[in-house]
Structure 1
Amino acid sequence: MADTPISEEEFQKFREFFYRKTGIQFESSKRYFVDKRLVERIEATGNDTFRSYFTMLRFQASGEELQQLTNLMTVNETYFFREEYQFKCLVDSILPEIVARKSSRSPIRIWVIPSSSGEEPYSIALYLLEHWAGINDWDIEIISSDIDTRILAQARQGLYSQRAIQQLPVRMLQKYFSRVGDGYQLCDDIRSAVEFTRVNLSERADTRAYRNFDIVFCRNLLIYFDDISRKTAAETFYDALNPGGFILLGHSESMSRISSLYKVRKFPEAIVYQRSLETR
């Protein structure tokens, strides 16, 4: 750190640049975290100063270094069946409403963002298999997205530590996972049921193709955004959802404080948010 000092002015320049590119804003309390990862990339790219690195970062045509840095800056920590009550809400309250107004010929589409290392989208697939009676009658499409290309590769591999699977019932662990070294690998059938894609939620070009979803899971992502980025994300999800579609957020997040586009739905299992059945 001492060999590549980053001044307060440089930190502010980087923070503003990263926010414009990703929608993620680092508070001053994250200064050590940010500086440490910047220094790592400065040294890895053969630059001597923040200034030369920042110039390369801004003007590199391929955007490869920005992606490398983004992979380092994003935090990916989760586990299977986290906030399981929302999966119960999905099965007991949300899906009955969706299937009641949907043609059996059209799939039920679920978008999970961020994917992190895959625990959340795979948890949804497992929970539906184990608890939803309609699983044999409906085609389910699960698409899971993240800005971090490294974590997406990890998610596709489906290999997890003891900590990641600690909430799973032993019966499910034995049924769907196999032991690989010190970890557990999810079976091919479940891994192939989820499509993983790279998406920057702040880039309209990335999200434009994401349409006609019935359900969006966006849990514990918006806490890293500021008010403007949260509002933009809410509008992106609104456009991605079918009329009457639902969005589920993390337990500490509230769409009511972000946007008036959604109706609050208080189900027995959880509070979720719904796009109007009418088009905007």
Structure 2
Amino acid sequence: MAENAISAEDFIKFSEFFYRKTGISFEESKRYFVDKRLMERIAATSSTNFKAYFSMLRFQASGAETQILTNLMTVNETYFFREAYQFDCLVNSMLEEVVQYKQPGETIRIWSIPSSSGEEPYSIVIYLLEHWAKLNQYDVEILASDIDTAILETARRGIFTSRSVQNVSQELLKKYFRKLPGGNWQISDDIRDSVDFSRVNLIEAGDTRRFSRIDVIFCRNLLIYFDDISRQAAAKTFYQAMSPGAFICLGHSESMSRMSSLFSVRKFKDAIVYQKPLRGQA
């Protein structure tokens, strides 16, 4: 098949379709990335050309090909303790405020989205175990979600390369991981079992409806792939899922203040985060 089999018009059609499905917007600068993956799937499905493939993609009842393509189009680049200052803020400041409105034994819910291959939610668990003295006083639920079903299976297995664990000390590696033949590391069964992984498309109301009473959200480096409309919709979804006084952490290059007026800016010692106002607060 010719390298130019996907035309500029085809790219626009696909980009509009993918945006409606996922909220992710592809600029012209992403043409090579998008075209390469489309060509792979056109060949894999034995479609004669883009038109035939796109027709199948749009009308396939199961949506299986859309999911396969979504898995290919999403970027999963992460490692343990990435932007660790936010985990410091979690245990030093955010949770200390959250528990002011909890009774001992009550549930604290922390949501990692996108969870990618699991480094972020597992990092949260380790941070809580190592640095939060009140952990045993509360029932903490760690929820982890991603739109990519393949990466969720990777996350559930909990096997990581040496690059993924490059920021994990030898002490913590010994305590929470086991070395596998070939040089990879697998996180302990106890930590794997403590995280609830699920597939979630943030812009699909049916996917997010079950999330409620969330106390802390980590949504880092996802909304940079959304346009303004999708970002505002995502912010509203998070707001509705959060308890009054709950916090949300974004990536270092993201700002909730530029997306939504629903949240207040909180400047803690370790990090700047965003908070859903308590009841009665503006």
TM-score relative to the length of structure 1: 0.98
Q: How does 1:132-151 map to 2 (within 5 A)?
A: 132-151=132-151
Shift of 1:69: 0.2
Is the contact between residue 25 and residue 225 of structure 1 (CA under 8 Å) also seen in structure 2?
A: yes
Shift of 1:209: 1.2
Q: How does 1:151-170 map to 2 (within 5 A)?
A: 151-170=151-170
SS in 2 for 1:26: coil
1:107 alignment counterpart: 107
Name the amino acid aligned to 2:40: E
SS in 2 for 1:216: strand
In structure 2, distance between residues paired with 1:242 and 1:25: 30
In structure 2, distance between residues paired with 1:101 and 1:152: 32
SS in 2 for 1:133: coil
In structure 2, distance between residues paired with 1:140 and 1:10: 47
Q: How does 1:94-133 map to 2 (within 5 A)?
A: 94-133=94-133
SS in 1 for 2:134: helix
The CA deviation string for residues 23-68 of structure 1, in whole angstroms up to 9 with x for no partner, is 0001111100000000101111110100000000000000000000
Is the contact between residue 245 and residue 278 of structure 2 (CA under 8 Å) also seen in structure 1?
A: yes
Is the contact between residue 80 and residue 123 of structure 2 (CA under 8 Å) also seen in structure 1?
A: yes
Is the contact between residue 4 and residue 48 of structure 1 (CA under 8 Å) also seen in structure 2?
A: no
In structure 2, distance between residues paired with 1:84 and 1:3: 42
Name the amino acid aligned to 2:158: G
Shift of 1:105: 3.1
Q: How does 1:1-280 map to 2 (within 5 A)?
A: 2=2, 5-181=5-181, 182-278=183-279
Shift of 1:3: 5.9
In structure 2, distance between residues paired with 1:53 and 1:236: 32
Name the amino acid aligned to 1:254: S
Count of residues in Structure 1 that have an aligned counterpart in Structure 2: 280
SS in 2 for 1:237: helix
In structure 2, distance between residues paired with 1:95 and 1:212: 14
- Runs of at least 5 residues in structure 1 that lack an aligned partner in the other structure: none
In structure 1, distance between residues paired with 2:92 and 2:7: 53
In structure 2, distance between residues paired with 1:116 and 1:24: 16
In structure 2, distance between residues paired with 1:3 and 1:108: 52
SS in 1 for 2:197: strand
In structure 2, distance between residues paired with 1:73 and 1:140: 33
Is the contact between residue 4 and residue 39 of structure 1 (CA under 8 Å) also seen in structure 2?
A: no
Q: Which one is further off, 141-150 or 200-209? A: 200-209
- Runs of at least 5 residues in structure 2 that lack an aligned partner in the other structure: none
Is the contact between residue 146 and residue 152 of structure 2 (CA under 8 Å) also seen in structure 1?
A: yes
SS in 2 for 1:248: strand
Shift of 1:276: 1.0
- Runs of 4+ in structure 1 off by over 6 angstroms are none
Superposition CA RMSD, Å: 1.1
SS in 2 for 1:46: coil
Is the contact between residue 105 and residue 137 of structure 2 (CA under 8 Å) also seen in structure 1?
A: no
In structure 1, distance between residues paired with 2:74 and 2:67: 11
In structure 2, distance between residues paired with 1:55 and 1:103: 54
Is the contact between residue 248 and residue 273 of structure 1 (CA under 8 Å) also seen in structure 2?
A: yes
Identity of aligned residues (%): 64
In structure 1, distance between residues paired with 2:104 and 2:24: 39
The CA deviation string for residues 187-236 of structure 1, in whole angstroms up to 9 with x for no partner, is 00000010100000011111111111001100000000000000000000
Name the amino acid aligned to 2:250: L
